[in-house]
């Protein structure tokens, strides 16, 4: 077996869409397998299957048992395994269940949909912590989710994947990043004549920020933190790091810093650059 993907996460976060993509990519997919059968089934199936994907979620059984099984799989299939956790904001999950009219798997033991989502999120805390890749699908349509998964699953080369995401705090902090850096303490180009309608990718905004005291020093400090994190992640067998850089609206400062970091790491890593809130 070359690749083992454990697809998990919150109900309504997009696992069905992700599973369809995995099938399209040639993975042998098993959905809703009881957790007590997983470790028995994998050695049998892997004899004739190169790429295997398992969906493990609230339907699979006891979540504490699930956590222990995933931990054991990570130790046994260190080089082959990827744990992908799909996450989303509560408000988004509520809207999705209302739209599809499907029942949440924990609704029977909860008083409401909101409580079911809260209980599931709390139960998945430990599994979220040991996941290799976390994807926040709150702002992703099915096509964008598929693109994100393709980026992850087609990274067959051993190059480290560094994802850099710019965002605006007023639109919410992303759930699928390992580090969040706040750059709101630098002057906001939004209030500078001629820069309001531009972004951090424009020459005028770049010049304004590079002429701001402390910007170059802060970029150097960001590089030091990221370099250290990459080295430690590689030692643990993890080949992806997600970094979020936020300013107020996600148009100027965060975009600038994300662009500058991406240029620096283009040779050393496979860089995935996203500007979430640029219109």
Q: Residues 27-34: what's their mean pLDDT?
A: 89
Give, in words, the CATH class of 3-153: alpha beta
16 in a labelled binding site? yes
Does the pLDDT at position 241 exceed 50? yes
pLDDT at 158 over 70: no
Range name among 66-70, 105-109, 210-214 with the lowest pLDDT average: 105-109
Consult the annotation and say whether 168 binds a ligand.
no
Region for 250 from its dihedrals, namely left if φ exceeds 0, alpha if ψ lies in -120 to 50, beta otherwise:
left
Judged against a pLDDT cut of 90, whether residue 236 lies above it is answered with no
DSSP summary character for residue 108: G
H or E element: which one contains 144?
A: helix 142-153
- Residue 238 labeled ligand binder: no
To 10 degrees, the CA torsion angle through 25, 34, 97, 139? -40
Residue 68 known to bind ligand? no
Q: Is 237 a known ligand-binding residue?
A: no
Residues of the chain with CATH 3.40.50.300: 3-153
pLDDT digits (tens, 9 = 90+) for 91-133: 999 999 988 778 888 888 888 999 999 999 999 999 999 998 9
Q: How far is CA 122 from CA 58, 184, 234, in A?
A: 12, 31, 29
- Residue 12 is labelled as binding a ligand: yes
Q: Is 232 flagged in the annotation as binding?
A: no
Edge-to-edge strand list for the sheet holding 179-182: 179-182, 240-247, 161-168, 270-275
Name the percent of the chain in helix, strand, coil, to the closest 5: 45, 20, 35
Residue 57 annotated in ligand binding = yes
- Please tell me the pTM assigned to this model: 0.69
pLDDT digits (tens, 9 = 90+) for 168-200: 999 999 999 999 999 999 999 999 999 999 999
In this predicted structure, what is the pLDDT of residue 237? Answer: 63
Mean of all residue pLDDT scores within the chain: 90
**Is residue 11 part of an annotated ligand binding site?**
yes
Q: What is the mean pLDDT of residues 58-71?
A: 87
């Amino acid at each position: 077996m070359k690749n083992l993907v454990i697809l998990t996460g919150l109900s309504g976060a997009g696992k069905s869409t992700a599973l369809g993509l995995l099938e399209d990519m040639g993975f042998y997919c098993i959905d809703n397998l009881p957790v007590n059968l997983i470790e028995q089934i994998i050695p049998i199936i892997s004899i004739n299957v190169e790429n295997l994907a398992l969906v493990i979620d609230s339907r699979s059984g006891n979540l504490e048992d699930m956590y222990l099984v995933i931990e054991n799989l990570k130790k046994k299939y260190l080089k082959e395994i990827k744990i992908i956790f799909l996450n989303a904001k509560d408000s988004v999950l509520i809207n999705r269940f209302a739209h599809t009219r499907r029942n949440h798997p924990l609704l029977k033991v909860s008083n409401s949909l909101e409580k079911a989502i809260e209980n599931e999120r709390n139960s998945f805390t430990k599994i979220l912590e040991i996941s290799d890749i976390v994807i926040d699908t709150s702002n992703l349509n099915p096509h964008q989710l598929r693109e994100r998964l393709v980026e992850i699953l087609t990274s067959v080369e051993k190059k480290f994947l560094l994802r850099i995401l710019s965002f605006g705090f007023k639109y919410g902090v992303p759930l699928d990043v390992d580090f969040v850096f706040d750059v709101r303490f630098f002057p906001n180009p939004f209030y500078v004549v001629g820069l309001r309608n531009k972004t951090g990718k424009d020459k005028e905004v770049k010049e304004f920020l590079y002429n701001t005291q402390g910007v170059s020093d802060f970029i150097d400090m960001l590089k030091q933190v990221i370099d250290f994190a990459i080295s430690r992640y590689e030692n643990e067998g993890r080949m992806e790091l997600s970094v979020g850089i936020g300013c107020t609206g996600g148009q100027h400062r965060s975009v600038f810093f994300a662009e500058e970091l991406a240029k620096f790491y283009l040779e050393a890593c496979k860089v995935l650059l996203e500007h979430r809130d640029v219109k």
